Amino acid sequence: MSELITTDLVDLDLKATERGEATAHLAGLLAAAGRVTDLEGFLADVRAREAQMPTGIEGGIGIPHARSRFVAAPTLGFGRSTAGVDFGAEDGPAHLIFLIAAPEGGDSDHMTILSKLARRLVHRSFREALLGAGDPQAIVDLVDKEVLGK
């Protein structure tokens, strides 16, 4: 479980149109992979974080995230939405959605991931590569290279 993101944590055709629904779908992928031990508990933590401040950022991006006792290992889920999902960004709906899950007692991993991801997402070329990726492995490779420096 050392990989931050794997192909089973990627959905290139996210059907959800509402933020809670999109987050629940991605969290379900994390739970199915054994990275989230209690789906409802984790979703409650994500909703509590989202209630503090929306996690949409400029450029059509949503980054819901939470530290939770229900997370087994730092994990990144990804969904791409054609219709877009409102995550509260001023410029409109998110088409690229990253769900960051971090263990509650863990170090600052999730903040490090969040800041690295945000720094890369300001680059149009990275966003376009994510939008154009043809399969889940391409997403994993992009994140590994651009965010994690692998």
Kindly list the domain boundaries of the chain, sorted by start residue.
Answer: 7-146
| Prediction pTM value | 0.93
| Angstrom distance (rounded) from CA 95 to CA 64 | 13
Quote the pLDDT of residue 132: 96
Quote the pLDDT of residue 46: 96
Q: In the chain, what percentage of residues exceed pLDDT 90?
A: 75
Measured torsion, CA atoms of residues 6, 107, 22, 77, in degrees rounded to the nearest 10: -10
- The yes/no answer on whether domain 7-146 falls in CATH 3.40.930.10 is yes
Q: What residue has token string 């889940």?
A: 136
Residue 18 has pLDDT above 90, yes or no: yes
Quote the pLDDT of residue 1: 44
**What is the set of active-site residues?**
65
